[in-house]
Chain A
């Protein structure tokens, strides 16, 4: 089955720094999604990407759908303490039964004030 490799597994940064994380897949996806999960809560959708090459921003967050459709990255600019959490990428293949997602293992982000 499809697998997503998400890196890095964890990041420790200073407030104000920029952050970059990415996901790669052995096969193509039609949709890439990025979620953030705060402790004890469910993941919240940050950005959805639907076309190869698409670059989308949401405030300080920017994500891109790789041109090969096998990868995506998420950048966070000028990090703040509330950016702390686990970030997940997820890929979706059109026509998959139930529109199931394949998730990466997550990137744990720690921001030091």
Chain B
């Protein structure tokens, strides 16, 4: 069966520090991968999605970037964090075939001080 892992589960970072959140998927090949941000437990905002290695699409302009160095690895990064980057970050995957549901990881709670 397929599983998705995100780490770390929680992170506290000072303003201006760099960020790297990692997401890996097991038990499937060529998945679509997604990064979402969720503020205050409501409303998932799609940040990035990827349909293949090295292919990243950005949904909203922001202080963050994403990379997909391997088929089942998706990384969310920032060079200098802002206070507004605080939130709950969720990674998700779906099968490449059309109309397949997305499956989410357990998220990373990011707090910027």
Contacts and interface: CB of A to CB of B under 8 A. Distances in A.
Contacts of B44: 43, 88, 103
A48 B49 contact: no
Interface residues of A, number: 29
Given A31-B99, A48-B101, A100 B41 contact: no
Nearest to A29: B99
B84 to A, nearest CB: 20
A92 interface: yes
B49 A43 contact: no
B interface secondary structure, majority: strand
Contacts of A45: 101-103
Interface range on chain B (Cβ under 8 Å from partner) = 20 to 34
Given A40-B107, A92-B99, A99 B41 contact: no
B43 interface: yes
A48 B101 CA distance: 7
B87 interface: no
A66 B6 CA distance: 35
Given A86-B42, A98-B32, A41 B57 contact: no
Contacts of B107: 40-42
B49 A98 contact: yes
Contacts of A90: 102
A59 interface: no
A50 B99 CA distance: 8
A43 B102 CA distance: 10
A99 B32 contact: yes
A50 B94 CA distance: 16
Given A98-B32, A98-B34, A108-B41, 7 more contacts: A40-B109, A41-B107, A42-B104, A50-B99, A98-B50, A105-B42, A106-B41
Interface of B: 6, 32, 34, 41-44, 46, 49-51, 57, 90, 92, 94, 98-107, 109
14 contacts: A30-B99, A37-B41, A39-B41, A40-B107, A42-B107, A43-B90, A45-B103, A86-B42, A92-B99, A98-B32, A99-B32, A99-B99, A101-B46, A106-B43
